[in-house]
Structure 1
């Protein structure tokens, strides 16, 4: 538990990165595919590294799920950079499957944390938002890239808020527990 709580700053960074991504996507809805690929690739790699480091830092039941989420995020980001000329539909599926898998991983990790901390539901909320986002993209692929940009922006802002709230909850926990 100590390792999880001490990783609060990684969740804060992940939340801030998500909000920045969301704001950029909403402010510039006419964004080109190449710019979207770069922004998504950067976010997926940053989020993946954050999850991977958090998973490697602590030894709990949720460790495997955080590591899996991190590896999937890094792979999704690398794919986005290696093939920047992806069609919007291919990008849509990369984003959809990444969101679904990371959402399920975060839901499972949040459920496992229920026994250890309060307000673990923020990780579950983030996972549910990610899962819903991915499923919407899969079921409505014809909505187009502009819809993807708006959905990505809204998802990223809500997810970022959930991760920031969770990070401050963990920070308070470390102070109450007398952890450095």
Structure 2
């Protein structure tokens, strides 16, 4: 391995440059996911809810085992309650992922409305101390409008949310791919590979 100023041999940097392909795989996976989310946003929301259900079931089973084995970090009662709640939520999400996604979206809608109202009230109360309070008011109004839209039409809300996630995944994936190839080139140039 060649030495390079600022990048000692065997460092984390060396490990990253040798394993640049892992970053590439993450990036490609994110790009594929992003394309699918943009092409079929409602289906993507259902798939995400389904995966959330699978993760909840697995976590519930792990906590259930730890509750009965005595290795749970909380009381057995709390561990059992959490395990059963996780498993129940997971089963519901797996059986009906679109409904699960819609219910989660309603929580998001409520949060947006409450957060939007908070921003508006905050902006009005501090308008004498700050300039540009109108931007807080506009962001609050937009949050309220988005929350109301999500509540009135959850399917459209799921589509919009999945589109956002898809676009962000595309951007993230492209940046990961670029970073992977840059790490590969840099690793070759300093002899870390």
User: Could you say which structure has the greater relative contact order, defined with CA pairs below 8 angstroms and 6 or more residues apart?
Assistant: 2
Query: What TM-score do the two structures reach when normalised by structure 1?
Result: 0.45
Structure with max Cα Rg: 2
TM, length-normalised to structure 2: 0.42
